[in-house]
Structure 1
Amino acid sequence: MEPVDILKQYWGYDQFRPLQEDIVKAVLSGNDTLALLPTGGGKSICFQVPAMMKPGVCLVVTPLIALMKDQVANLKKRGISAYCIYSGMHYKEVEVAMEAARRGRCKFLYVSPERLQSKLFQTYCDGLQVNLIAVDEAHCISQWGYDFRPAYLQIADIRSFFPNTPILALTASATPKVQTDICDKLLMKDAKVFRKSFARANLSYSVLEETTKVDKIQHILDRVPGCGIIYCRNRKRTREIATLLQLQGIPASFYHAGLPQQERAARQEAWINNETRVMVCTNAFGMGIDKPDVQIVVHYDLPDSLEAYYQEAGRAGRDEEKAYAVLLYNEEELTDMYARIAMQFPSLEQIREVYQCIVNFLQVPVGSAEGVYFDFDINEFARVFQLNLTIAYSAIRLMEQEGILQVSESVLLPSRAEFVTNKETLYQFEDAYPALAELIQTLLRTYEGIFDNPVPIYERQISRILLIEEDEISSMLHQLHQYGILKYAPRRDEPQLCFMQERVSAPNLRLNMARIEVRRKVYTDRLEAVFAYVRNSATCRTQLLVKYFGESGTPPCGVCDTCLKKKATALDAAAFKRITDTVMNLLQEPVELDVIEQSCRDVSKNNLLEVLRFLENEGLIKRDISGKILKK
């Protein structure tokens, strides 16, 4: 069977996208491979197809829990067995997934990088037949990258268990330096490297200096039809902008990691189904969402790297139709971002102060808490201790990178229950409280080991068994807890903080400040690249972006703001004004393009179209739903 047959059988596609088949064949030949495919380039197909063609399980390493769950769910819908293992799971759940993989009942095992180092996971490795190790978001392995995660540095260790298994590293954005680092850190041998051009012919990039950004967003949304995304830095702003857009009659919603999981899922679904036109969000939104018809992505706030900007902007126009990526900024914002570098990289004393506040906040004694998860709302934490939120967040990020602790925006921890009485007392309780007896029996029949240790339980599953509403099941479980029969911990979907090593006294907290200083320099360089991009007024935006990623020889895109400006000014000023006046005089009412062409017979079609594009880009004219041109 050929790769394209697997693609057709399970995914319904008749052919691969550019480079996908080359990557698949390299993996099938046993080569270590690095694949650079821009956002929406179909990275998952590159490991899923070859894994389906070989015996054994594909080990997929990814840091994104939500994406991990989505991909497992999608594979199961296609009749493909898949499991995932991530931070916060009980060891019993991990055992179930690993046992399925060892017995050949799992084709794809998704694992967070932190889990690779657990003793339980490694105990099972000897019995696993792994046909491929796929590393998603591979740029996270490099300290030169924009999203460095120390757990990625340990991925190469797992190769010792599977010495003959090829590794496929995938990323949407990596500079040449990061590409080299990925190959080195993953111990790749004679790696095959595939790069799809970073140029997006259908995507028009624009940078606008604005003081009243919300007004500009409304103006943009009036001109560009279809659905869109607006990225903001902080959660509060997402709500504010969405509310303002709603008041203008634009169907908008907001999304950030602080919302409950069910609410996030519902809002995401409404947007995907075009019930919501615009999603105003933080960068927590968008990963793994396959919505091809996004026509506009606006950045209300400056991103702090071109890698992040390229990924987020690239969520527009995946259907290859014309789309727009607009970045709004002002000089005051640039000055503020540069000044905030010191807060992004606090001193050792500041980091120790934040650490001391964390252990006080969570009431963690010295010598304890290694591997333990705590609910942790950073906004509440900073408020209680009157800390600067940026410094607190940055100190925590640096402690994560140094392997001291780990914070997850949202980790779904299922409900857990354990009977804390003996069986004789339990029988007596059932006689005394018959309304709860059936629930007790269901727990005993459904959840093995519930008398020995806390086990994950699922209220929805119990609800289906007993034909009782889920809320009532939760209420009954709380009753058993209050009676001292059951220890019940309801499910949590809150931000979690986990200590990766035992808690030490703050003065004994050790960090490699020289290494942190290197990261500060890298961060500053990335920020300066963003500043150069937004201040540029002469070079094609696409050329600037692809050059940053090491690609040369790319022709001007012809559709970004700087290219359009050049085209419009290629005419001399007098000719440009004459054509503009003719067009604007014609537009007393909406007219077809051919009417304008008839009135401008002495003008070349190229020059006329250049002027029209310029006027449209400046917001002076627009096209209505029928395609006619009219004044704004």
Structure 2
Amino acid sequence: LCNYFQISYGEGHQTVHQFNFKDFCKTYKLPATKTYNGLLVLDRNSIISLNQRFSYRTSIQFICSNEEVFKYIEKHPNAEPAIKSLLRTYGGIFDFETKVNLELVASKANMDEKMLIAQLKTFQRDELITVELRNTDAEITFLKPREDEHTINPIAKFVEQQNQLKHDQANAVLDYIHNDTQCRSAQILSYFGETLKDDCGKCSVCLGTKPQNTSHSASIIQQQIIDLLRDKSLTSRQLVEALDCTTTEVMHNLTQLLESEHIILNATNSYQLK
């Protein structure tokens, strides 16, 4: 940042600078996400004050008639791409001051932003438009003078701790995703320093590890389902919990019973005897 704004060593305290984030990243070939997070770290530690103004755009309004615009294009053919891009992108630009995205307009006009800005200034000079240029998206105030090592060293440990914390949190999420042997509820409680006496019996891990009785044939499972449904209607989850079978086995046999019209699915999404 100091090099970007050409701030000398020992200088810069309480100076305010208009900041073009995209240009900064492009100049030093920095990844946008990491750079933005780095700026936030400096802001949180009172090294700089970052005033984000991403919602602001350059404001433009045409102050002449349609006929005058087309006459201008006839006299200045090079102006056609920029003018037509503005007119096609922003309706009402003749009637009121309109905030425009220079990057978008430049892309549609097939030119770079610097060339577009130069043309806009020409249009304003020729009394075609009024323009208020804002080609920055943030404002940075340096709260401390440039003293490189003395500025960064005091916060270095804190930054390392924060990075390690984020790293640990990301690993905890990955461990939770890939751990298919421990009850999900137990994993979550363990992360927060608590313990679960018994597995919940309802999560994907618990249901997936429910002991199977391979001696059960389809007919036996179906008969067990019918016996359970004699008393009351039950959901598929309730049937899985009640039967000594896997979820896949229960769902497969429920499908067969539905097809053979031994059971039906009622309005509450529960199974009952027909």
Question: What's the TM-score once normalised by structure 2's chain length?
Answer: 0.46
Relative to its length, the structure with more strand (as a share) is 1
Higher relative contact order, structure no. (Cα contacts within 8 Å, ≥ 6 residues apart) = 2
Greater Cα radius of gyration, structure 1 or 2: 2
